Chain A
Amino acid sequence: MSDTTLVSPQPLDVKHSGGFDTLWPLVLKNALLTILTLTFYRFWARTHVRRYLWRHTRFLDEPFEYTGTGKELFLGFLLVLFVFIIPVVALQLVVSLMSSTGWSSQFLDGFIGIVILFLFGFAGYRAQRYRLSRTLWRGIRGSMDGSAAIYGLLYLGFTILNAVTLGLTYPISRFALFRIRVSDITIGDGSPRVSGGFGALYPRFLLAWLLIILLLGGALALFFMLIMASAAEPVQEMTAQTYVAALFSRTVLLIMVPVSIVYFLILSFYRAREYGWMASCIQYQGLRFALETSTVSLFSLLFGNFLITIATLGLGYPFAQLRAARYFCNRLTVVGSLDVEAIRQSAAKQPAIGEGLADAFDLGAV
């Protein structure tokens, strides 16, 4: 009596049943305990939020389950603290003590910067592996079947390439890294495949790139106009301090706020295309995916989440996570066939401790 193969002409359901009304007690408790414990509770807080988000996500009417623990995250953090943070701080201190010219400390800062860039990619990959290995759906676990070091090197290389090409290679890097992060996923013993390429991203990307250049140019011009305008004003009683304060408040109100809004709009314009295209490139068994995105809806998600996070000093971040989860679940359509009996548990070893590095770099995206 098993439901071996599910073939459906109708789209298969992905649902998210979480809501602000059921999440806020958890967020409140987490915020209080995080403050009371001088932020040490954050590992457990994050775990509880994930448990909530996973539990409220259903595919084929079966919920996901998060099996990670706060202790694992905490141990991962301790490991990184002792093998990375403390040695780096000690090294920097010794070098700055010994050099009066600042030459070797600048060299060290540059070197550490490169290492940190590599570790960013490395940590992101490892964190994804940890989360997948703690995700259970219909009794099956996920994982990542690839090398975090290679991903870290690629991340570093692409970041440098993007800087050199003034961002023109951005879609290539995004798609290449996306391909690795998805095709390395294992669900039991099988993996999704990624077909297609980055070419389809370029028409919209180039437009967005031009708009960003215009935006930056406009912001710069506006800034100089403001400086000229304030310089032309009568100097009466204006000390240097009040002058800077006035210039600063004008800069923030007249430039930074509109520029960041327009920036989010352009970003959403590009991301809407990118997310939709990436979803359509994924294939798992007989399943195909379609994500219905739009510039306006994505802007409201991204900008709204930005506002929620800064207005609550980060304590309301779970609300932003919930909004993102709901956005992607409700707009994702899955069609095709799935042979659930063919998904077998993988024998691969699981990481024993949590995503310490990702925590150190504040990559705790979910």
Chain B
Amino acid sequence: MTTQNAFLFDGKTAARQSVQIRLTATSVEIARHTSPVLIEWELHSLRLIDDGLTDGTLRLGSSASPNARIVTEDPAFRADLRQTAPQLFVPPFRRLVTQRKATVLALVAALLATILYFATTSFTQTIVWIVPAEWQSALGDTLRDRLFGENRHCTSPAGTAALGALKIAVVGQRSELSNVSILVLDAPTINAFALPGRQIVVLRGLLDDANSADELAGVLAHELGHVAYHHPMEAIVRLTGLTVLSAVFTGDSSSVADRLVEIGGVLYFLSYRRGQETVADNYAHDLLNETGIGSAGMARFFGRRDKDRAEGGWIKTIEAYASTHPAAAERAAKAQQSAVSTRLALDQQQWSALKAICTN
């Protein structure tokens, strides 16, 4: 099959040369009219640039000469080529993807995902043990400053002494809780949390809300549980990993810095897993019973939280489902079960001093 109606771009200049092309059993021969064969492209080297279905112009290239192109509008040539070299007209995707390849690929992907899952889980815990204690405290300080830099550190002398006494009463003999520091910040929110570097921050709102030192001791014991299991540091490492991963998936690194700052933000609080909260609760029960304070105060505190929620209507209920903390009622019931109290966490005078720690 020979067609006169063809053009060659030789890849050397932008000139368009009028040529004739001939299709043989093994190749395409390109020649200027009436001259000897100029170029010969083997069929297996051919690449289909445009199949000519949209505008009737067939375009061919060859791996032998990557920039050169031949163009023809002759439908007969196209039909002939399609018969001689049908594989050329199979979409590249279908040529590439065979059933066997796809199966192997899926298996490899599943294997990789499994390895990745286990690697990241144990990796997180390993890193937590590697990071030096000084770095952990420095990070804890940075986070506290970013979150509550504007809130005053409450340090009335009598209150500080009472806080120290409460710490000794709750920590008891546990060696993993030595060096823990507890401080109160002047913020109205009813909350307390553990930071990297064995720090626990209590917000003034929690002191106002608590009816007795035993209730506060319950909350502290829970946070001490997080400290004992290194949960704060684990959350940070996990979040950093997520940040890098999200940069990988979205390809957007410009906001990596922003997202790193967010580590100190809302995400930090949301990032304890429910399992970790349960572990911290169990730790708290053991600790409270061991020290003789008992978990009755903890039960009362969570019981009140549950009542708040019941009055809060359906929005609060949804919040509870989405939350990582176990349901307050459940926690209160569990704490009640193991409640054995043999002593008070603080005497009445100390408790009053602690409640007034933010007033000078």
Query: Which residues of A pack against B, CB within 8 Å?
Result: 1-4, 38-40, 42, 55, 62-63, 65, 77, 80-81, 84-86, 88-89, 92-93, 96-100, 102, 105, 109, 112, 116, 136-141, 188, 340-345, 359-362
Q: Would you call B150 an interface residue if the criterion is a C-beta within 8 Å of the partner chain's C-beta atoms?
A: no
Inter-chain CA distance A117–B15, complex, in Å, is: 42
Report 10 cross-chain contacts, Cβ distance below 8 Å, ordered by A residue.
A2-B15, A39-B250, A39-B251, A99-B138, A102-B142, A112-B257, A138-B14, A340-B15, A344-B12, A344-B13
B247 and A89 contacting across the interface, CB-CB below 8 Å: yes
B190 at the A interface (CB under 8 A): no
Give the A-binding residues of B (Cβ under 8 A).
9-18, 32-33, 49-50, 59, 67-69, 131, 135, 138-139, 141-142, 145-146, 240, 243-244, 247-254, 256-257, 260
A85 touches B253 (CB 8 A): yes
Q: A93-B260, A109-B257, A360-B252 are in contact. List 5 more A-B contacts (CB 8 A).
A: A1-B18, A3-B15, A65-B59, A138-B14, A140-B9
B67 near A360 with CB under 8 A, answer no
Expressed in whole angstroms, the Cα–Cα distance for A30 and B37 within the complex equals 43
Could you tell me the distance between the alpha carbons of A139 and B139 in the complex, rounded to whole angstroms? 59
| CB-nearest residue of chain B to A341 | B15
**Cα distance A340–B50 when bound, in Å?**
23
* Cβ B15 vs Cβ A4 within 8 A: yes
Docked pose: A213 CA to B244 CA in angstroms = 39
Asked if A89 contacts B13 (CB within 8 A), the reply is no
B interface secondary structure, majority: mixed
Q: How far is B247's CA from A341's CA once the two chains are assembled, in angstroms?
A: 47
A345 x B50 contact (CB < 8 A): no
Q: How far is the CA of A243 from the CA of B51 in the complex (A)?
A: 62
What residues of chain B lie closer than 8 Å to A341, measured between beta carbons?
A: 13-15
Contact yes or no, A38 B249, CB < 8 A:
yes
The contact of B260 among A65, A77, A92, A345, by CB within 8 Å, is A92
Contact check, B244 vs A141: say whether CB atoms are below 8 A apart: no
Please state if A139 and B67 are interface contacts (CB–CB under 8 Å).
Answer: yes
Contacts of B253 in A (CB 8 A): 80, 84-85, 88, 360-361
Q: How far is the CB of B149 from chain A (nearest CB, A)?
A: 9
Check if A1 sits within 8 Å of B17, measured CB to CB. Answer: yes
List of A residues within 8 angstroms of B240 by Cβ: 89, 93
Q: Are A98 and B247 in contact (CB under 8 A)?
A: no
| Contact yes or no, A86 B244, CB < 8 A | yes
| Given A96-B139, A99-B138, A362-B251, CB of A88 within 8 Å of CB of B256 | yes
Find chain A residues with CB under 8 A from B12 CB.
139, 344-345
- Across-interface contacts of A77 in B (CB, < 8 A): 251
Residues of chain B lying within 8 A (CB to CB) of residue A109: 257
Q: Are A138 and B251 CB-contacts (below 8 A) given A65-B49, A86-B244, A89-B243?
A: no
Q: Are A85 and B257 in contact (CB under 8 A)?
A: no
